């Protein structure tokens, strides 16, 4: 989406401010405003994205390696969809974040018009794919819980959903290559920026495109996922009220099974982190659209902070997956330990019984 990634400070600034206030009557020189010079804000941006990029790269690469190894042992739709989610996060990590770092260092755009349009495309592509991958996971879990008998079409449906997610991400990102271009400042001719200036015939078109991006990247996933997981929770509540539900609860298995329950909890956690990270930013965006003047009064550092907080989502997903995977490994180890203890006790009991039988036999022979 245009206002989500491309212009993180677009809620409170324009990239080309009113330069008439910088003109001096003596020699008609132009003072360069602080936003066109390297400042403390750029330094914070570089430091934050650099740290975030390292953590995100390590986490997502580790998770991807783990998922691919598990895929060789046991193929499952949910693991396959998680692979695509991790790939989307890696696109954000190795494309979006480096662009933000370099752009903050140079302040102006040095890449020319072609790279400007390509960068604009990929800076939304990974984020669209991340959102649509979550939708894919939600739809898959919906069918897995509510329509478990449709197994014959499950794999085909999963592949179709994933393919549609990638295609939709590309289609939604293509307009970025149209609206973004390099513009040169009218007075400070060495200063160029990759922006959407003069791309819209009127302000309404700009707002319409921003709303489109918000709907596709946030509202649409929110509605679909709310319906899918709301239906799943309703089904779970309905099943637990059935006459034979008590024995399932006591056995800690339930109609879902332990593996499916664990997967469901993990996917719900991943989706909740997505909305927790991005909701504050979108609340600010909606405020800006509804009442632009009052939104501008919010401290710029707060608004930049909301965007930076949203970007942490790509590095949180590996943590969520790691926590659930560690818990699974511990449960497996505990189960193995319990089985080993149980087996040992059986063998000891057998040896004890054999010893008693032998003693009894010897006593009988002596008699």
Long-range contacts of 192-198 (CB under 8 A, 24+ apart): 192/108, 192/109, 192/110, 193/15, 193/16, 193/108, 193/109, 194/109, 194/111, 194/116, 194/119, 194/120, 195/7, 195/15, 195/16, 196/2, 196/6, 196/7, 197/15, 197/16
**Does pTM surpass 0.85?**
no
Over residues 213-217, mean pLDDT: 93
Q: How far is CA 17 from the centre of its chain?
A: 34
pLDDT at site 353:
59
Q: What angle do CA 53, 54, 58 make, to 5 degrees?
A: 115
In terms of Cβ atoms closer than 10 Å to its own Cβ (0-12, 13-18, 19+), residue 114 is: exposed
**Which residues are CB-contacts of 98 (< 8 A; sequence separation ≥ 6)?**
53
Residue for token pair 């330069």: 19
pLDDT at site 163:
95
Q: Is the dihedral of CA 282, 287, 293, 296 positive or negative?
A: negative
pLDDT bin (cut points 50, 70, 90) of residue 110 is: very high
Q: How far is CA 209 from CA 12, 197, 286, in A?
A: 18, 14, 14
Over residues 182-199, mean pLDDT: 86
pLDDT at 202 over 90: no
Domains of the chain, earliest start first: 2-15+25-366 (1.20.1070.10)
pLDDT at 257 over 60: yes
Q: Are 237 and 256 in contact (CB under 8 A)?
A: no
Instruction: List residues bridging with 193 in a β-sheet.
Output: 183
Over residues 187-206, mean pLDDT: 83
Residue for token pair 């979550």: 134
Over residues 160-170, mean pLDDT: 96
pLDDT at 10 over 90: no
Cα gap 292→106, rounded to integer Å: 29
pLDDT at 221 over 80: yes
Cα gap 165→176, rounded to integer Å: 18
Q: How far is CA 319 from CA 57, 59, 98, 124, 324, in A?
A: 12, 7, 22, 23, 9
């Amino acid at each position: 989406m245009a206002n989500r990634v491309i212009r993180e400070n677009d809620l409170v600034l324009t990239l080309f401010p009113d330069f008439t206030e910088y003109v001096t009557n003596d020699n008609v020189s132009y003072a360069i405003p602080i936003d066109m010079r390297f400042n403390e804000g750029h330094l914070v941006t570089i430091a934050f994205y650099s740290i975030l990029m390292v953590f995100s790269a390590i986490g997502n690469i580790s998770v991807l390696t783990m998922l691919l190894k598990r895929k060789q042992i046991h193929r499952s739709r949910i693991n396959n969809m998680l692979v695509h989610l991790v790939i989307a996060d890696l696109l954000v990590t190795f494309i979006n974040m480096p662009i933000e770092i370099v752009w903050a260092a140079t302040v102006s755009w040095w890449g020319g018009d072609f790279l400007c349009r390509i960068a604009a495309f990929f800076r939304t592509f990974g984020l669209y794919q991340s959102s649509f991958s979550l939708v894919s996971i939600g739809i898959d879990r919906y069918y897995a819980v509510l329509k478990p008998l449709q197994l014959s079409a499950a794999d085909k449906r999963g592949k179709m959903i994933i393919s549609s997610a990638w295609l939709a991400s590309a289609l939604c990102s293509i307009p970025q290559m149209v609206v973004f271009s390099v513009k040169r400042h009218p007075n400070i001719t060495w200063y160029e920026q990759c922006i959407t200036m003069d791309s819209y015939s009127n302000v309404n078109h700009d707002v319409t495109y921003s709303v489109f991006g918000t709907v596709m990247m946030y509202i649409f996933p929110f509605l679909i996922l709310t319906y899918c997981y709301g239906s799943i929770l309703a089904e779970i509540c309905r099943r637990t009220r059935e006459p034979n539900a008590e024995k399932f609860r006591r056995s800690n298995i339930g109609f879902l099974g332990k593996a499916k329950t664990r997967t469901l909890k993990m996917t719900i956690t991943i989706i909740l982190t997505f909305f927790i990270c991005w909701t504050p930013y979108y609340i600010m965006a909606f405020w800006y659209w509804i009442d632009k003047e009052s939104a501008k009064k919010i401290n710029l550092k707060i608004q930049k902070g909301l965007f930076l907080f949203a970007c942490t989502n790509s590095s949180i997903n590996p943590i969520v997956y790691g926590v659930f995977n560690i818990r699974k490994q511990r449960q497996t180890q505990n189960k193995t330990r319990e089985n080993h203890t149980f087996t040992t006790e059986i063998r000891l009991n057998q040896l004890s019984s054999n010893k008693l039988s032998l003693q009894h036999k010897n006593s009988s022979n002596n008699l």
